[in-house]
């Protein structure tokens, strides 16, 4: 079976943490950013390679997107689906009676 990106990343970094632990760590980082931005504070994220990124309220949409992404990744790892089914509107054409 093919390894997930998180498993490959853990191997590359010599990290003993599971995919779930790595996903939870990433979710926690973005959750802290979300909490800071909600209080109108800037937040700084480090990528672990001596590089930092400063987030402000203007980045709130990206932070929300990353929270959703990591929440879905955690659900996938746990074998749970949290996405709602998509509904489609069907229009029919016909001759009125």
Q: Is-contact 43 37, C-beta < 8 A?
A: yes
35 vs 93: CA distance, rounded Å: 49
Segment 4-31 shows an average pLDDT of 83
Cα angle 16, 20, 25; round to 5: 85
| Model confidence at 4: pLDDT above 90 | no
Segment 54-72 shows an average pLDDT of 92
| Model confidence at 32: pLDDT above 90 | yes
Predicted local distance difference test score (pLDDT) of residue 10:
75
Q: Is-contact 6 72, C-beta < 8 A?
A: no
What's this model's pTM, rounded to 2 decimal places? 0.70
- Phi, psi for residue 36 in degrees, rounded to 5: -65, -45
| Model confidence at 46: pLDDT above 70 | yes
């Amino acid at each position: 079976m093919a390894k997930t990106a998180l498993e490959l990343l853990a191997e590359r970094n010599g990290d003993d943490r599971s995919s779930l632990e790595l996903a939870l760590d990433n979710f926690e980082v973005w959750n802290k950013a979300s909490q800071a931005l909600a209080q109108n504070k800037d937040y700084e994220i480090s990528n672990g390679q001596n590089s930092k990124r400063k987030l402000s309220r203007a980045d709130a949409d990206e932070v929300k997107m990353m929270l959703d992404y990591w929440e879905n990744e955690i659900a996938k790892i746990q074998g749970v689906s949290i996405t709602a089914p998509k509904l489609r509107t069907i229009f029919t054409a016909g001759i009125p009676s």
